């Protein structure tokens, strides 16, 4: 059974510092991995989606890497801003088509960027 | 704002009440999902519907009863809930599962409190 872990559970940094968020998964047979942002009491906003054949994806200040063989992904947020304060979730999608379109989520990392 | 809407956004109900959560997607998708997000657990999948047919029930107690009358609407009927059912309930949609997997788009969620 796939398990997804995100460490640390919470992170506080001063504005301007780079953020490094970690995600690990136990079963490397994934189709893709997705990073989401969740503001308090709100739904999920997709940030980056990395296919299993890719090593990284970039969007603006965000960069996500994927090492499928070791079961790890890292989300980098450059030059953090107070507006980056949120919970960041990673989720993996299984490679087996019979598993449908199920996402397995990590517990999230709650980020606070202090002005 | 995403193309997936949920109502109500907040709901407080007693353990003997019956209420329903509603989800509507405006993206032309054919698959819809219910997720539960509790305070101390990762987001977990509850139900999946593909072309109005339920394809996944993740061992959810019968006090939660989903209904999918068409590909654009998804309901979650609630009755005799327990305080531990208090959580954020998220709806998502995607293109039809066959031929996928496809990215899921999330609604803003309904914050449910059971007293």
The pLDDT assigned to A97 comes to 65
Residue with tokens 């993996």: A92
A3-62 pLDDT, tens digit per residue, is 999 999 999 999 999 999 999 999 999 989 999 999 987 889 999 999 999 999 999 999
Q: What does A52-86 look like in DSSP terms, one character per residue? A: TT-SEEEETTEEEEEETTTTEEEEEESS--GGG-E
B 46-105 residues with CB below 8 A of A? 48, 50, 55-56, 88, 90, 94, 97, 100-105
pLDDT tens digits, one per residue of A52-79: 999 999 999 999 999 999 999 999 999 9
Which whole-number Å values give the CA distances from A111 to A61, A86, B47, in the listed order? 16, 5, 30
Give the pLDDT of residue A73.
98
Tens-digit pLDDT string for chain B (115 aa): 459 999 999 999 999 889 999 999 999 999 999 999 998 788 999 999 998 899 888 899 999 999 999 999 999 999 999 999 999 999 999 987 776 667 889 999 999 999 9
Looking at the DSSP assignment, which residues form a beta bridge with residue A67? A72
B37 forms beta bridges with B88
| Confidence grade of residue A96 (pLDDT, cut at 50, 70, 90) | confident
Distance between CA B84 and CA B102 in Å, rounded? 32
Note whether A7 and A60 are within 8 A (CB): no
B54-59, Cβ contacts within 8 angstroms, sequence gap of 24 or more: B55/A100, B55/B97, B56/A100, B56/A102
- Minimal Cα–Cα distance from B79 to chain A, Å? 23
Distance CA B24, CA B36 (A): 17
Q: Which residue is closest to B2 within chain A, CA to CA?
A: A45
């Amino acid at each position: 059974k796939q398990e997804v872990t995100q460490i640390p559970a919470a992170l506080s940094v001063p504005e301007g510092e780079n953020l490094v968020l970690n995600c690990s998964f136990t079963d490397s047979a994934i189709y893709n991995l997705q990073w989401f942002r969740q503001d308090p009491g709100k739904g999920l906003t997709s940030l980056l989606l990395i296919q299993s054949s890719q090593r990284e994806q970039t969007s603006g200040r965000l960069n996500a890497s994927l090492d499928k063989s070791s079961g790890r992904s890292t989300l980098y947020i450059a030059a953090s801003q107070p507006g980056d304060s949120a919970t960041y979730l990673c989720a993996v999608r299984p490679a087996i088509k019979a598993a449908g379109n199920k996402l397995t989520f990590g517990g999230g990392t709650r980020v606070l960027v202090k002005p | 704002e995403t193309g997936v809407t949920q109502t109500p956004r907040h709901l407080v109900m007693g353990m003997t009440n019956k209420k329903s959560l509603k989800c509507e997607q405006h993206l032309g998708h054919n698959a819809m999902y219910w997720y539960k997000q509790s305070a101390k657990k990762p987001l977990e999948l509850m139900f999946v519907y593909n072309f109005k047919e339920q394809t996944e029930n993740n061992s959810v107690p019968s006090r939660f009863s989903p209904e999918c009358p068409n590909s654009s609407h998804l309901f979650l009927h609630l009755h005799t809930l327990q305080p531990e059912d208090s959580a954020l309930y998220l709806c998502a949609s995607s293109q039809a599962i066959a031929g996928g997997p496809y990215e899921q788009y999330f609604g803003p969620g309904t914050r449910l409190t059971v007293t």
